Amino acid sequence: MNQPLKFREVAKRAIREQISAAALARFRDQGFHETTVEHIAADVGMSTRTFFRYFSSKDEVLLEATYAFEDRFLNALQEVLRTDNLWEALGLALRVSTIECRSDVAQHEREVQKLIQNTPSLMARQLEVMDHLQAEAASRCCLLNPQAARLDEGTVHAVVGSAFSCYRTAELRLDVDATSDEAGKALSLLMQALKPVALQD
């Protein structure tokens, strides 16, 4: 990547983070439904037209963390899928994604998640993204993982869904101040206890 392009990417990321922080503050103080794109843009000192260069809607500001998790997970999974052990590959990809997520601005992401959970339309959108993520993960597993290739497609989808259930349960059981090591350990223990019968040696 050349220097001007790299600088533009860094600048774009910084502006997106500024918009996200302003939106979260406004949502917290005023409520999601009462907040408009015009409010957020004004808080950052930009026009609504400029806002739309970075986000397509106020919903997308809150869902950005979900899309980022999707990218992190699929990239991590791609790196480990060729191992024969499908359950270990899924666990490793989820642990890497969890650690990276918690090393970002963790408090910000927890507040965003709380807002999503309290807004039915956003929760529905997030569930759609996670369903798509699991379907994409299962497809990649079937194509690239030797153990998954020996199973029927429905079983692979169920295995991926089970891994994500472990991830969600581990996240819910953790204290908000949990470290990335604690998050990874909680996930590993849960996945070890709940390894699907279809994958037992």
Task: Return the pLDDT at 7.
Answer: 72
DSSP 46: -
Report whether 79 contacts 132 (CB < 8 A).
no
What CATH number is given for 1-55 in this structure? Answer: 1.10.10.60
The pLDDT, as a whole number, for residue 172 is 73
Give the CATH number of domain 57-199: 1.10.357
Name the H helices within the chain: 3-30, 37-44, 48-54, 58-80, 86-103, 106-117, 120-144, 146-149, 153-173, 180-193
Amino acid at 136: E
Q: How distant is the alpha carbon of residue 75 from its chain centre?
A: 12
Can you tell me whether residue 197 is helix, strand or coil?
Answer: helix
Per-residue pLDDT of the chain (201 residues; tens, 9 = 90+): 566 667 788 888 899 999 999 999 999 999 999 999 999 999 999 999 999 999 999 999 999 988 988 999 999 999 999 888 999 999 999 988 876 555 445 667 778 888 998 899 999 999 999 999 999 999 999 999 999 999 999 999 999 999 999 998 887 776 655 566 777 788 889 999 989 988 876
pTM above 0.85, yes or no: no
Distance of CA 16 to the CA centre of its chain: 17
CA atoms within 13 A on the CB side of 56: 3
**CB-hemisphere CA count at 13 Å for 69?**
25
Query: Are 186 and 175 spatial neighbours (Cβ–Cβ below 8 Å)?
Result: no
pLDDT of residue 63: 93
The segment(s) of the chain belonging to CATH 1.10.10.60 are 1-55
Domain with CATH 1.10.357 in the chain: 57-199
Determine contact, residues 179/159, Cβ cutoff 8 Å: no
| The pLDDT of residue 80 | 93
CA 40 to each of CA 33, 68, 125: distance values in angstroms, whole numbers, following the listed order: 13, 21, 21
